[in-house]
Copies of this chain bind each other. A is one copy, B any other.
Amino acid sequence: MVEDIQQDVLSVNNSHAKHIRAWAQSVGVTVLNLISSPGSGKTTLLEHTVAALASSRDVCVIEGDQQTSNDACRIQAAGARAVQINTQDGCHLEAAQVQQAIDLLAPQAGGLLFIENVGNLVCPTFYDLGEQARVVLASVTEGEDKPLKYPRAFETADVCIVTKCDLLPYLDFDVELLERNTRAINPHIRIMRAEHGASPEWEQWLRGLDA
């Protein structure tokens, strides 16, 4: 019974996601869904991404949190249009919420639309938001076994960004082991590193999505 209801919720979500994906393709907007633990550095990465790319193309951000508009304010200050969704008791974003935010943001042709999901490595992985690519972040302060303990987040992602690499000198952390564990779960994933929220490799990859 509970499983039936969950299937119904996912089926409604998938129908909204399909609509978003078709719209994005027709308009030429690239949609990326960012998933990680709370505090892994999603907003900081996006601040740097906006600063690097917003002068050359349209960049919009949808921010998901239980409460506050802090993250949308940070993104707006960095120079992009942003809408905050407060999920209250909710543990993930759903495609219907993303659709409402898209209607408000009106992303432009050739642009990038980032969705920063609620900080949670489990629930958001079940909800397709109509993204072209899913990005999982893992910070070097979180432990090398995160991909093994929360496999679905890494299994369903196209890109993994290892954040806070600037802290490596102060930690007993084996970044190669994290990367091996990530590839053990998902051999096709692209792995990139970020320091202080900046990742030239990530920015270059995003620029390549133009083509």
Contacts and interface: CB of A to CB of B under 8 A. Distances in A.
Interface stretch (A53-61, A75-83, A115-123, A199-207): A115-123
Contacts of A123: 91, 120, 122-123
A73 to B, nearest CB: 11
* Max chain B C-beta neighbours (<10 A), residue from A38, A66, A142, A143: A38
A70 interface: yes
Contact of A119 (B2, B37, B66, B141): B37
Contacts of A68: 145, 148-149
Interface bin, chain A: 35 or more
A121 B38 contact: yes
A121 B122 contact: no
Interface string A143-166: 101101111100000000000100
A89 interface: yes
A70 B149 contact: yes
Majority secondary structure, A binding face: loop
Given A122-B123, A123-B122, A141-B164, A150 B67 contact: yes
A109 interface: no
A203 to B, nearest CB: 22
Interface in A104-152: 118-123, 126, 139, 141-143, 145-146, 148-152
Interface in A24-69: 37-39, 65-68
Contacts of A90: 122
Question: Which 7 A-B pairs rank lowest in CB-CB distance, beginning with the nearest?
Answer: A39-B142, A91-B122, A141-B141, A37-B38, A37-B37, A65-B149, A170-B170
